[in-house]
Amino acid sequence: MSGHVSPSPASASEGNRLMMTLGIVAKHAVIVLILALFLLPLAWLLLTAFKPYSELFTTPPTVLPVNGTLVNFSEGWAIGGGKGIGDSLIVSSISTALCLILGFPAAYALARRFPPHGQMSFTILSLRMLPPIVPVIGFYILFQELSLFDTYTGLVIVYTFMNLPLVIWLLAEFIRQIPKTYEEAARIDGAPWYRLFWDVLLPLSAPGILTAGILAMIFAWNEFLFALVLTGEKVITLPKALASFFLFQQPNWGQLGAIGIVAITPLLIVSYYMQRSLIRSFSVELGGR
């Protein structure tokens, strides 16, 4: 690829190739080093989860657990991690289902019946930008009035409100990528609009629905401020359980580490698979690359 003509082309290009290979190896080495440093705090969390109590409070700390143990996981489950996982699962899965049920028809209407990126889409999306601290006061008073404080229903409603704008918008973007020929063919066959919606577009949108659903699930699973303010003793999601154990009880870091690891592992697995499905589903948008 060198632009100038050198006197001995063969040896020069060989030298160039060597330099290029070395350059690539160096780049990979730099990236791997940065990545390793970057992930250190999470690696430390992982190691902590396997340390017995006696190894947690030593100076200098042991890096690898000497007597590795799984007891933190069972104890973490028993002290409230189990309840946290259960509550987080209930709240995030029901709110995600609601987001999709409300969001898919709305996304279809926005994608096919409004100009692209119309004012409506933007208004809906701007709700997403609201920091949770702004509406939380109003929600708190409302929930006191309606006896929704510290209920699964209440938290499900808030999480649906929080994620619905994003779900609508992602699905509308997805539906816009689907060629209209399918619907036109069905329309020529005399299918009414709800058949177009149900039999044609819904199956074609499955990858987009999966993506939007997983994303809504992750955001609900990770959410903390609403859970902190709008629930009390009855509903305790995982982030709230972790925070309250850490701040208000004698913390056993090993148990908390185990809870933390259990809280993030499913997300990492799911998001890895989501990435695969997304590259596939957006390949149309990316010009078939």
Partner 1 sequence: MTTISRPSAVVHVPPKSREGAEERRATWLLLGPALVFLGALSVWPFVYLLYASFTSYQLAIPIPIEWVGFKNFSRVITNARFLSSLGITLIFALVAVPLQILIGMGLALLLNGITRGRELYASLFLIPMMVAPIVVGFSWNLFLNPIYGPLNSFLKAIGFEPPAWAQSPDWALPTLVLVDTWQWTPFVMVVLLAGLKSIPSRVYEAARVDGSNRWQTFFHIVLPMLYPYLTVAFVLRFIDSFRVFDIIYILTRGGPGTSTQNLAYYTYDMGFGRFEFGIAGALSIIQLILLTVGTMLILSLAKRRDRAPAAGKALPPTVVSHATQQLQGANS
By the rule CB under 8 A, 171 interacts with partner 1: no
My answer on whether omega of the bond before 60 falls inside 30° of 0, hence cis, is: yes
Residues in region 218-257 near partner 1 by CB under 8 A: 218, 221-222, 224-225, 228-229, 238-239, 242-243, 246-247, 253, 256-257
CA–CA separation, 170 and 167 (whole Å): 5
The distance of closest approach from Cβ of residue 118 to partner 1 in the complex, given in angstroms and rounded to an integer, is 9
Q: How far is the CB of 200 from partner 1 (least distance, A)?
A: 14
Question: Minimum distance between the CB of residue 229 and partner 1, rounded to whole angstroms?
Answer: 6
DSSP state of 7: S
Q: Work out whether 109 is an interface residue with partner 1 (CB under 8 A).
A: yes
40 binds partner 1 (CB under 8 A): yes
Dist CA 24 CA 19 (whole Å): 9
Asked if 208 and 168 count as a contact pair (C-beta separation under 8 A), the reply is no
Closest distance between partner 1 and the C-beta of residue 173, in Å?
5
- Comparison of 6 and 11: residue with beta carbon closer to partner 1: 6
- Interacting residues of 154 by C-beta distance below 8 A, sequence separation 6+: 143, 148, 230, 231
Residue 193 contacts partner 1 per CB under 8 A: yes
User: CB of 67: closest distance to partner 1 in angstroms?
Assistant: 17
Residue at 162: amino acid letter:
M
By CB under 8 A, is residue 188 in contact with partner 1? no
| Angstrom distance (rounded) from CA 48 to CA 278 | 34
Of 4-12, 72-80, 125-133, 148-156, the window that binds partner 1 (rule: CB under 8 A) is 125-133
- 92 Cβ neighbours under 8 A, 6+ residues apart: 159, 216, 217, 220, 221
Tell me: does residue 197 bind partner 1 (CB under 8 A).
yes
Rule CB under 8 A: is residue 82 a binding residue for partner 1?
A: no
- Does position 157 bind partner 1 by CB under 8 A? yes
Answer whether 58's CB lies under 8 Å from 119's CB. no
Name the one range near partner 1 by CB under 8 A: 5-13, 14-22, 69-77, 271-279.
Answer: 271-279
Which of 85, 94, 156, 173: binder of partner 1 (CB under 8 A)?
173
Q: What is the dihedral of CA 236, 130, 217, 39, to 10 degrees?
A: -90
Contact 231, 249 (CB under 8 A): no
Which DSSP letter does residue 67 get?
T
Taking CB under 8 A as the rule, does residue 30 contact partner 1?
A: yes
Q: Report if residue 113 touches partner 1, rule: CB under 8 A.
A: yes
